[in-house]
């Protein structure tokens, strides 16, 4: 696993901090999709449409680190919240990053269940956080 040290998140652009400064372990994977839809154009080549999206995924993450993400939601009934992130934008070796505003969906566990703040030191497995409607900024 390559070390990823440039992922950042915040409720505002000027509060965006690296995950490690928020005591969050680096994700095990961080796939990026440049388009939400890809269709074959009339000339036979694929053409992308829509907004980029990405995900941050952990094989294991403890409740303390998860609560940092959950604190960005205004209340437990919110399904999503607007955040500011810095994420990797390629899958190659150049490791380019981009700054975006995005909609962060409530984190889900390996069974697809939404996650909520809890006390205690529980460790969760296969947690993913989806970011959609990424806009450069």
The predicted-structure confidence for 30-60, as pLDDT tens digits, reads as follows 899 988 888 898 999 988 889 999 999 999 9
The total number of structural domains that make up the chain: 1
Does residue 97 lie within any of the structural domains? yes
Give residue-wise pLDDT tens across range 99-120.
Answer: 999 999 999 888 888 888 887 7
8-44: burial string, b at 16+ Cβ within 10 Å, e else = bbeeeeeeeeebeeeebebbbebebbeeeeeeeeeee
Give the whole-number percent of the chain exceeding pLDDT 70: 93
**Residues linked to residue 98 through DSSP beta bridges, in sequence order:** 87
Q: Which residue has the tokens 């380019």?
A: 96
Structure tokens at 31: 């796939």
Distance CA 104, CA 53 (A): 10
Does residue 33 lie within any of the structural domains? yes
Does residue 102 lie within any of the structural domains? yes
Range of the domain at 28: 8-136
Q: What is the pTM of this model?
A: 0.85
Does residue 85 lie within any of the structural domains? yes
pLDDT at res. 86: 94
Confidence of residue 1 (pLDDT cuts 50, 70, 90): very low
């Amino acid at each position: 696993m390559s070390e990823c040290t440039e992922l950042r998140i915040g409720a505002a652009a000027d509060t965006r901090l690296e995950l490690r400064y928020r005591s969050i372990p680096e994700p095990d994977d961080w796939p990026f999709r440049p388009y939400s839809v890809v269709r074959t154009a009339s000339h036979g080549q694929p053409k992308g449409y829509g907004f980029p999206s990405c995900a941050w995924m952990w094989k294991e993450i403890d409740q303390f680190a998860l609560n940092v993400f959950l604190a960005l939601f205004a209340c437990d009934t919110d399904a999503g919240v607007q955040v500011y992130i810095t994420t990797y934008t390629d899958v190659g070796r150049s490791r380019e990053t981009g700054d975006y505003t995005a909609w962060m969906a409530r984190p889900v566990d390996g069974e697809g269940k939404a996650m909520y703040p809890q006390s205690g030191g529980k460790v969760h497995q296969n947690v993913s956080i989806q970011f959609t409607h990424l806009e450069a900024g």
